[in-house]
């Protein structure tokens, strides 16, 4: 997993690349990385999955843990351009009713602005 | 006398239907006249033979008769196949009339060996006319009709025999033995007249002995008999009976020959003996035959003759020589009286389950050929033992005893085979409907398919969750997948998020592929078991499940579905309990489905409540059934509680039945005993389902039989009411209600009977009753007679028999009084 970031206004756009899976744990997991950003005062985070090739249940757990951590600090974590398979998983697990998921980055950013 | 008066008179004596009066009277008088002639011919035969050839030469008469009768049988069989029934009967009678006159003439020339020829001729007369009579009976009646009327018809023969023997006894000294023969042609001319009317009777089924183009010879008939175990046994018991009769007859005639030297005195004695014998036989027949057959069944009826003859044969060793005539009279009397009454009826009954194509050929062959062969065989035994080895009459009794023991064994065996053969004649028209449905249709899968299709319209999340469930079952055919995916894009486009509107959509096929290739199902399970997942969802579900507004109905449905997929914890239980009490049936259905997955005991009272709601009853039934046997006690408490909602109580027996356990059967049987009419129908149906699901379950007769009797009593009452209202029959609604109610009670009776008697046979009998044809009804009654205790099948008869309503009502009233008087609870553990 490789992470690069961009920042538009106070929104941190996190571009994730590669695979998020249990067998491929790097020194820093997605949740730990998000926690670092939260510690740095970031409260509006948009995770971009456009270049994520694979994500397993461990990866979903990382996203959910990140969501809780952000939420607990009064922040917002949203998702953009997730794969069809991941969307299907979120549908079946009803996570689409809790997580904010977007197909278009601009629409996602606008949703932050509206808040 | 008008037809109605005759019927009214006859119906007091015999169980007869109005349309059976004319044919039965014709057959009664035909048999009467034939037997009058036969019992004049018989004493003349013995007396003349003893005069000219003596008792020592009796084995020759038996042997010659047996040998020649074979040829006569072949000729008779050929005539039977080639000639129309009425012509065949008329020609036979004309032959006997003319030869009788010829014998009368020839006896005047005093040729000793003529008595041997006459012996053979009289045997031919007896065998041919009697067999022809039974062939006529078989043409006229269905098996159960024959069973009802046999007693009456045989009575005609017995009365004829008495009259003939009495005539011989009274007239022998006045007219002379030979002159008695001239009475017979006159009687046989009357038989010809009866044949004329018989040939014009409507509705008789002239069964040809073989299909066209496949005419049989005695050899092929013999092969057919040998290839059938039942017919072989039938032939064996006829053969054994004939051997024993011949040995006993030899002993009797020998004793009579040595006691009476003068011919006419001997004829007169024989006439008197036969008169007393036949009167005794007649009394035995009218008082005992039907009673034995109805109350004790075929098996006991088959064993009575062997037992009595065994005792009689043993008695010779204790009788002094001067009283030998009394012994001879008693043993001959026992053999003949049983043979004329009980054995005759039993033998005719044994032919009932044989298919018509074989029956006539086999009957002719066995009655004429096998029995005569047995007679020939016994004459050889006599020639060897009496003529060559000079056995005494006592030693011959030892030989008789050996054959009686064999006869006993064959009788036991055929009684067993009889039931199997009757069963084969009954067709199963349908199987248990519930069983067929459960075997051929997966109800859970069907429901899931419908839920999935339905959820398409409501929410993409529900659709995805249902689709996931559906695909996990791995039972979806490609066609079904296509149906489910049909218009999926359109539906999704309407209901999904903006992201999917721009191109993302999925179908069952996509999801299926994803599941197969990437273990999606496993991923989803793992995600839902994550603490973080539950933490994310907790707040949302807490909020949704507490909100009862109509706006959140779909969200509550989703939440209810999702809870069933999660690992159970206090929060899951708390929210599911809330959703189980949701007013929306759609939400409750998903909550019930989830409860069925989690199977927690704390949900049970909430689930049971749904049994009282029409909209969620089915789902609640399914959910409770998924708990299995561990909630049987709880369910039973609700069932017993008369304060509970009746709809709720009515739904419980079926759930208990779905457990398929002995405990459920015991509890339901105990509830049945309480005779709670509110839930009685449901309990009976549930017990029947339990029987279908698990054949190993044992039901207690003492709990089931009282309910059978109660249902029978209620059926009687309905029949009596139907008879009262019969004038208003045409389209009168209460009459139709009563008829429907009677049909329902009949079904319940058979459902209950299937619990304690062989269910397949009970089901066959019921199906054939429902089929409603005369033949199917007859076979059903025949089968029931063989599987139920006598007193129970007698109670059932008025409900199922094809009788006029008035006659049925009369019987019902009579039996109802008997039941109430004796408080009869049928057959305590008397089932076979």
Over the stretch B218-243, which tens digit does the pLDDT of each residue have?
778 888 888 888 889 999 999 999 99
Give the C-alpha separation, A51 to A81, whole Å: 9
Give which of B44, B40, B25 is closest to B186, Cα–Cα. B40
CB-CB neighbors (< 8 A) of A84 in chain B = 504, 506, 510
Is the CB of residue A104 less than 8 Å away from at least one CB of chain B?
yes
Instruction: Examine the domain organization and report whether B52 and B161 are in the same domain.
Output: yes
Interchain proximity A65–B523, CB inside 8 Å: no
Under an 8 A CB cutoff, do A96 and B461 touch? Answer: yes
In a mutational test of the B interface, the residue from A92, A96, A102, A103 whose CB has the highest number of chain B CBs within 10 Å is A92
Judge whether residue B488 has pLDDT over 50.
no
Range of weakest confidence among B95-99, B530-534, B725-729:
B725-729
Average confidence (pLDDT) over B633-652: 92
Q: Which of B7-16, B21-30, B526-535, B543-552 has the lowest mean pLDDT?
A: B7-16
Q: Does B558 touch chain A (CB under 8 A)?
A: yes
Task: Give the span between the Cα atoms of B220 and A12, in whole angstroms.
Answer: 101
What's the rounded mean pLDDT across residues B343-351?
A: 76
Q: Which residues contact B238 (CB under 8 A, 6 or more apart)?
A: B347, B366, B367, B370, B371, B374
Do B547 and B597 reside in the same domain of the chain?
A: yes
Q: Flag if B460 and A101 touch (Cβ within 8 Å).
A: no
Give the one of A57, A84, A97 whose C-beta lies nearest to B527's C-beta: A57
**Mean pLDDT computed over B257-267:** 85
Q: Chain A partners of B498 at a C-beta cutoff of 8 Å?
A: 102-104, 107
Q: Which residue has the higher pLDDT, B169 or B453?
A: B169
Q: How far does Cα B361 stand from its chain's mean position?
A: 25
Show the tokens assigned to B614.
């029409």
What six digits make up the tokens of B216?
């049989």
Backbone angles phi, psi at A102, to 5 degrees: -130, 155
Pairing of strands A2-8, A11-20: antiparallel
Token readout for B79 is: 């005539």
Chain B touched by A89 (CB under 8 Å): yes
Tell me, yes or no, whether B531 and B403 share the same domain: no
With bands split at pLDDT 50, 70 and 90, how would you rate the model's confidence at B103?
A: very high
CA angle centred on B278, ends B10 and B400, rounded to 5°: 130
> Does the beta carbon of A72 lie under 8 angstroms from any beta carbon of chain B?
no
pTM attached to this predicted model: 0.55
- For B308-322, the pLDDT digits (tens) are 899 988 888 888 878
Q: What is the pLDDT of residue B98?
A: 94
In the predicted structure, residue B766 carries a pLDDT above the cut 50: yes
Shortest CA distance from B528: residue in chain A? A93
CB atoms within 10 A of CB B821: 8
- Put simply, the answer to whether B540 touches A98 (Cβ < 8 Å) is yes
Q: What is the model's pLDDT at position B493?
A: 37
Closest approach of A54 to chain B, Cα-based (Å): 10
Q: A111 contacts in B (CB within 8 Å)? A: none
pLDDT-derived band at B504 (thresholds 50, 70, 90) equals very low
Are residues B185 and B80 located together in one domain of the fold?
A: yes
DSSP structure class, residue B615: T
User: Which of B461, B495, B528 to mutate to test binding with chain A, by most A CBs within 10 Å of its CB?
Assistant: B461
The mean pLDDT of B605-620, rounded to a whole number, is 91
Confidence at residue B492, expressed as pLDDT on a 0 to 100 scale: 40
Q: Are residues B359 and B279 in the same domain?
A: yes
Written as six digits, the tokens of B538 are 């907790």
Residue A96 pLDDT > 60: yes
Residue-number span of the structural domain to which A17 is assigned: 2-105
Residue partners of B32: CB distance under 8 A and separation at least 6: B156, B157, B159, B160, B163
Question: How many whole angstroms separate alpha carbon B292 and alpha carbon B737?
Answer: 39
Query: What residues of B are in contact with residue A92 (Cβ under 8 Å)?
Result: 461, 464-465, 468, 524
**Residues 422-461 in B contacting A (C-alpha not used; CB under 8 Å):** 460-461
The verdict on a CB contact (< 8 Å) between B523 and A60 is yes
- Whether residue A110 is contained in a domain is answered as no
User: Does residue B627 sit in the same domain as residue B644?
Assistant: no
**Is B493 part of the contact surface with chain A (CB cutoff 8 Å)?**
no
Of B651, B669, B693, the residue that ends a domain is B693
B233-267 b/e with 16+ CB inside 10 Å = b? bbbbbbbbbbbbbbbbbbbbbbbbbeebeebbebb
For residues A44 and A13, is the Cβ–Cβ distance under 8 A? no
Q: What distance in Å separates the CA atoms of residue B189 and residue B177, rounded to the nearest whole number? A: 22
Tokens 């019902």 map to which residue?
A: B812
* A45 within domain boundaries: yes
Q: Which of B460, B506, B532 sits opposite A68 (nearest CB)?
A: B532
Alpha-carbon distance A9 to nearest alpha carbon in chain B (angstroms): 24
Give B497's contacts in chain A (Cβ within 8 Å): 96, 101, 103
**pLDDT for res B828:** 38
B753 pLDDT tier (thresholds 50, 70, 90) = very high
Least confident of B75-84, B206-215, B538-547: B206-215
Query: How many structural domains is chain B composed of?
Result: 4
Q: Is B823 helix (H, G, I), strand (E, B) or coil?
A: coil
Could B524 and A96 be called an inter-chain contact, meaning their C-beta atoms sit closer than 8 Å? no
Q: What are phi and psi of B362, to 5 degrees?
A: -65, -40
Contact B527 A67 (CB under 8 A): no
Q: Does the CB of B468 have a partner CB in chain A at under 8 Å?
A: yes
Number of domains in chain A: 1
Q: In this complex, is the C-beta atom of B502 within 8 Å of any C-beta atom belonging to chain A?
A: yes
Q: Which of B396, B244, B243 is nearest to B309 (CA)?
A: B244
The two three-digit tokens of residue B5, written as one number: 């008066």
Nearest CB among A97, A102, A107 relative to B461 is that of A97
What's the Cα-to-Cα distance from B216 to each of B211, B312, B365, rounded to whole Å?
9, 41, 11
Task: Tell me, yes or no, if A105 comes closer than 8 A to chain B by beta carbon.
Answer: no
Mean pLDDT of the residues in chain A:
89
User: Which of A85, A94, A99 lies at the smallest CB-CB distance from B518?
Assistant: A85
What is the reported pLDDT for B803? 78
Based on its alpha-carbon atoms, the radius of gyration of chain B, rounded to whole angstroms, reads 38
Interface residue B530 vs chain A (CB under 8 A): yes
B549 shares contact with chain A (CB less than 8 Å): no
Q: Is residue B517 part of a domain?
A: yes
- Least confident residue range of B277-291, B380-394, B499-513, B599-613: B499-513
CATH number at residue B588: 1.25.10
Interface contacts A/B by beta carbons within 8 Å? 92
**Position A62 in a domain:** yes
pLDDT at B125 over 80: yes
Which has the minimum average pLDDT: A68-77, B340-349, B596-605, B742-751?
B340-349
* Nearest residue in chain A measured CA to CA from B535: A68
B540 touches chain A (CB under 8 A): yes
Q: Compute the nearest-CA separation of B581 from chain A (Å).
A: 22
Q: For A95, which residue in chain B has the nearest alpha carbon?
A: B537
Query: Do residues B475 and B610 share a domain?
Result: yes
CB contact under 8 A, B497 and A96: yes
Q: Is the same domain home to B581 and B642?
A: no
Q: Does A24 touch chain B (CB under 8 A)?
A: no
Per cent of chain B over pLDDT 90 is 26
Q: Which residue of B has its CA nearest to A54?
A: B518
Distance from CA of A95 to the nearest CA of B (A): 8
Identify which of B502, B506, B537 has the shortest CB distance to residue A88: B506
In a mutational test of the A interface, the residue from B485, B536, B560 whose CB has the highest number of chain A CBs within 10 Å is B536
Nearest CA in chain A to B521: A89
Residue A25 lies in a domain: yes
Inspect the interface and report whether the beta carbons of A93 and B506 lie closer than 8 Å: no
Q: Are residues B141 and B270 in the same domain?
A: yes
In whole angstroms, what is the distance from residue B750 CA to residue B707 CA?
Answer: 11
Q: What is the pLDDT of residues B39-89, one digit of tens each?
A: 999 999 999 988 888 788 888 888 888 888 777 767 777 777 778 888 888
Chosen for mutation from B466, B517, B524 (greatest number of chain A CBs closer than 10 Å) is B524
Both B567 and B609 in a single domain?
A: yes
What CATH number has the domain bearing residue A9? 3.30.750.24
Å from A92 to nearest chain B CA?
5
Task: Let me know if residue A111 belongs to a domain.
Answer: no
Residue B797 lies in a domain: yes
Interface test with B, best of A32, A94, A96 (most B CBs within 10 A): A94
A113 domain residue, yes or no: no
- Determine, for residues B540 and A107 on separate chains, whether the beta-carbon distance falls below 8 Å: no
Q: Tell whether B773 and B686 lie within a shared domain.
A: no
Task: Supply the pLDDT for residue B479.
Answer: 53
Q: Is residue B290 part of a domain?
A: yes
> Is pLDDT of B214 > 60?
no
**Are B455 and B462 contacting, i.e. CB atoms less than 8 angstroms apart?**
yes
Residues B640 and B626 both lie in one domain: no
ipTM of the complex: 0.94
Shortest Cα distance, chain A CAs vs residue B447, angstroms: 19
**Domain assignment of residue B43, given as a range:** 21-199+219-425
Rg (CA), chain A: 13
Mean pLDDT across B395-418:
90
Q: For residue A115, is it within any domain? A: no
Determine the residue of chain B that is closest to A83 in CA distance.
B504
| pLDDT average, residue stretch B713-725 | 88
In a domain, B437, yes or no: no
Q: Do A88 and B523 make contact, defined as CB atoms within 8 angstroms?
A: no
Q: 3-class SS at A48? A: strand
Gap between the Cα atoms of B451 and B430, Å rounded: 31
């Amino acid at each position: 997993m490789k992470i690069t970031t961009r920042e538009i206004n106070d929104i941190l756009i996190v571009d994730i690349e590669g695979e998020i899976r249990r067998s491929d744990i790097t020194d820093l997991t997605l949740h730990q990385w998000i926690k670092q950003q939260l510690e740095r005062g970031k409260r509006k985070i948009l995770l971009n999955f456009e270049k994520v090739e694979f994500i397993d249940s461990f990866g979903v757990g990382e996203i959910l843990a990140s969501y809780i951590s952000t939420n607990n600090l009064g922040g917002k974590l949203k998702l953009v351009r997730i794969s069809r398979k991941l969307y299907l998983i979120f549908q079946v697990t009803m996570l689409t009713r809790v997580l904010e998921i977007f197909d278009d980055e601009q629409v996602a950013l606008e949703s932050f602005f509206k808040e | 006398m008008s037809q109605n008066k005759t019927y009214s008179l006859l119906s007091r004596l015999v169980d007869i239907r109005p349309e059976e009066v004319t044919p039965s009277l014709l057959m009664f008088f035909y048999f009467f006249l034939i037997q009058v002639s036969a019992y004049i011919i018989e004493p003349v035969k013995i007396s003349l033979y003893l005069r000219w050839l003596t008792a020592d030469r009796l084995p020759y008469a038996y042997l010659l008769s047996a040998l020649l009768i074979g040829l006569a049988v072949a000729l008779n069989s050929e005539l039977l196949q080639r000639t129309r029934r009425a012509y065949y009967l008329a020609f036979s009678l004309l032959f006997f009339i003319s030869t009788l006159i010829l014998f009368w003439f020839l006896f005047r020339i005093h040729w000793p060996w003529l008595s041997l020829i006459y012996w053979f001729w009289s045997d031919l007369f007896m065998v041919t006319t009697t067999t022809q009579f039974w062939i006529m009976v078989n043409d006229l009646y269905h098996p159960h009709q024959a069973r009802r009327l046999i007693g009456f018809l045989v009575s005609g023969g017995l009365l004829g025999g008495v009259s003939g023997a009495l005539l011989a006894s009274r007239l022998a000294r006045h007219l002379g033995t030979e002159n008695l023969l001239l009475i017979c042609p006159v009687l046989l001319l009357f038989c010809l007249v009866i044949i004329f009317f018989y040939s014009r009777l409507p509705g008789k089924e002239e069964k040809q002995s073989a299909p066209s183009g496949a005419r049989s010879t005695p050899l092929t008939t013999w092969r057919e008999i040998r290839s059938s175990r039942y017919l072989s046994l039938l032939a064996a018991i006829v053969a054994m009976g004939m051997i024993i009769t011949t040995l006993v007859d030899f002993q009797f005639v020998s004793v009579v020959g040595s006691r009476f030297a003068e011919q006419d005195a001997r004829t007169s004695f024989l006439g008197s003996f036969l008169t007393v014998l036949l009167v005794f036989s007649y009394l035995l027949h009218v008082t005992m035959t039907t009673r034995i057959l109805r109350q004790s069944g075929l098996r006991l009826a088959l064993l009575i003759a062997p037992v009595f003859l065994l005792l009689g044969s043993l008695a010779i060793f204790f009788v002094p020589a001067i009283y030998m005539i009394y012994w001879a009279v008693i043993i001959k009397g026992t053999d003949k009286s049983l043979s004329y009454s009980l054995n005759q009826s039993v033998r005719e009954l044994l032919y009932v389950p044989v298919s018509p194509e074989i029956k006539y050929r086999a009957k002719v062959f066995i009655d004429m050929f096998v029995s005569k062969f047995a007679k020939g065989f016994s004459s050889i035994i006599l020639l060897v033992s009496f003529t060559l080895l000079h056995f005494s009459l006592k030693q011959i009794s030892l030989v008789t005893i050996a054959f009686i023991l064999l006869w006993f064994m064959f009788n036991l065996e055929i009684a067993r085979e009889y039931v199997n053969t009757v069963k084969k004649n009954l067709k199963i028209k349908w199987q248990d409907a519930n069983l067929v449905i459960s075997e051929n249709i997966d109800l859970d899968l069907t429901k899931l398919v419908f839920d999935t299709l339905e959820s398409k319209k409501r929410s993409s999340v529900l659709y995805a969750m249902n689709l996931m469930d559906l695909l996990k079952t791995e039972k979806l055919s490609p066609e079904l997948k296509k149906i489910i995916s049909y218009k999926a894009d359109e539906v999704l486009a309407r209901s999904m998020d903006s992201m999917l509107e721009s191109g993302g959509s999925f179908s069952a096929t996509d999801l299926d592929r994803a599941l197969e290739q990437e273990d999606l199902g496993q991923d989803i399970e793992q995600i839902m078991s994550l603490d973080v997942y539950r933490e994310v969802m907790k707040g949302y579900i807490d909020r949704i499940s507490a909100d009862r507004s109509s706006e959140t109905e779909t969200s509550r449905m989703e939440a209810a579905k999702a809870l069933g997929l999660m690992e159970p914890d206090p929060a899951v239980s708390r929210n599911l309990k809330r959703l189980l009490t949701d007013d929306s049936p759609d939400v409750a259905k998903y909550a019930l489905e989830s409860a069925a997955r989690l199977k927690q005991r704390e949900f049970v009272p909430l689930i049971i409540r749904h049994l009282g709601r029409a909209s969620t009853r089915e789902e609640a039934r399914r959910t409770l059934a998924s708990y299995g046997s561990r909630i049987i006690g709880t369910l039973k408490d609700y069932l017993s509680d008369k304060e509970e909602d009746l709809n709720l109580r009515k739904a419980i027996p079926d759930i208990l039945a779905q457990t398929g356990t002995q405990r459920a059967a015991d509890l339901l049987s105990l509830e049945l005993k309480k005779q709670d009419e509110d839930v009685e129908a449901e309990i009976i149906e549930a017990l029947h389902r339990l029987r279908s699901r698990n054949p190993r379950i044992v039901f207690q007769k003492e709990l089931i039989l009282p309910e059978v009797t109660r249902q029978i009593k209620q059926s009687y009452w309905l029949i009596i009411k139907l008879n009262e209202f019969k004038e208003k029959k045409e389209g009168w609604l209460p009459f139709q209600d009563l008829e429907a109610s009677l049909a329902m009670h009949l079904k319940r009776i058979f459902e209950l009977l299937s619990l304690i008697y062989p269910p397949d046979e009970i089901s066959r009998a019921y199906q054939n009753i429902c089929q409603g044809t005369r033949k199917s009804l007859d076979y059903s009654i025949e089968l029931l007679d063989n599987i139920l205790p006598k007193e129970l099948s007698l109670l059932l008869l008025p409900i199922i028999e094809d009788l006029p309503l008035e006659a049925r009502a009369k019987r019902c009233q009579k039996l109802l009084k008997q039941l109430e008087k004796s408080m009869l609870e049928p057959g305590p553990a008397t089932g076979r």
